[in-house]
Amino acid sequence: MSLLVMKFGGTSVATLDRIRRAAKRVGREVANGHEVIVIVSAMSGKTNELVGWVGETSPFYDAREYDAVVSSGENVTAGLMALTLQEMEIPARSWQGWQVPLRTTGAHGAARITEIPTEAMRGRFDDGMKVAVVAGFQGISAEGRITTLGRGGSDTTAVAFAAAFDAIRCDIYTDVDGVYTTDPRITSKARKLDRIAFEEMLELASLGAKVLQTRSVELAMRYKVKLRVLSSFDEYDENAGTLVCEEDEIMESNVVAGVAYSRDEAKITLLGVADRPGIAAGIFGPLAEAGVNVDMIVQNISEQGETDMTFSCPVDQVARADRAMQQAREAGSIGFSELVADTEVAKVSVVGIGMRSHAGVAARMFQSLRDEGINIKVITTSEIKISVLIDRKYMELAVQALHDTFELEKAG
């Protein structure tokens, strides 16, 4: 018998009525002959509430107890979903992370999955269970403590179960009906994609698209798990949503698959940096130790024995980056004359596997931005993406212009 993994996000299980609606979708798959593993998030808003309670109780909290508290939201949803399925006369049981057990590292709040033994759950399926409802986002460390996987971790849980149980597919139910060429709130021309390659989805997710958590896409690509993103609020359609799959499963596509953006970016420039071997390590080592997520990096040409180093990071990490650089300078590991931070920038990116075999994408992108009077501050590229930093006030205009330039409203 084939096995299907279905994941329901917080908005999809926000109320008892929505849980019943989700359970009907599960029941339909059972009727189609599937065994089903359902991964559930906490009810919408519940995790934020739990995080708030922890902060009010203990500003400098023990991370182990933080995980014990914030993981409880998923436990509630899992139990309610199992009860709902039982009321529908579908043999179902809820499973918390430690009961599987979903084994993880001990990095509380950001644990990574190390193993999912399948024997216990397979035994229950063999005994007649049709649906296993698993609390997402959580696992158990080698020390026997509850751990959490970080925000969006239920997506990662779902893909990991699909890989471990060799599922035919992993369906991610959310509040959007698929993956779009860009944010429909920015341009009405945004088009839902029927299929998108793993690499494209990974780039879009890492560049700001909120549909799937980046780690879940990485895991799906590594284990070749087919992902389908679809809405839990639309009527049933077996061809609904967007399928995230291997590149060779897509017959033909546009050169550019989508335009992504990240609004809350900052650009930091270190002026007057000594131009010598090891200076980059002297800068980015302390930044990494301070937990600063550096993205785009540009080093200007040096003529007088000094150079300028520019990098981008999330705007809420600017103070942390500044402190790390000042401490490194005081320690004598690096030298610079001034640190300049621009906190009014945004990152806009075009992504597409077609870039590998088509020339001129960068030229079209830059000409489009020039025609709109948008100045580019920083550029980075990879095999299938081009990203630029621009003034934040032009972000939506840039997204609209690029979407039009590459005619993304048209299917490939």
Q: Which residues are annotated as a binding site for substrate?
A: 47, 74
- Asked if residues 352 and 405 have their Cβ atoms less than 8 Å apart, the reply is no
- Asked if residues 349 and 385 have their Cβ atoms less than 8 Å apart, the reply is yes
- Asked if residues 201 and 244 have their Cβ atoms less than 8 Å apart, the reply is yes
For residue 274, with 0-12 CB atoms within 10 Å meaning exposed, 13-18 middle and 19 or more buried, which class applies? middle
DSSP assignments along 268-310, one per residue:
EEEEEEE-STTHHHHHHHHHHHTT-----EEEPPPSSSEEEEE
Residues of the binding site: 7-10, 47, 74, 174-175, 180, 185, 210-211
Closest CA to 174 of 28, 48, 14: 14
Residues of the binding site for ATP: 7-10, 174-175, 180, 185, 210-211
How many angstroms separate the CA atoms of 404 and 412, rounded?
A: 14
Structure-block tokens of residue 213: 């958590």
How many angstroms separate the CA atoms of 279 and 285, rounded?
A: 10
Structure-block tokens of residue 340: 């300049």
Residue 297 phi/psi, 5-degree rounding, is: -130, 130
In sequence order, the 6+-apart residues with CB closer than 8 A to the CB of 188 are none
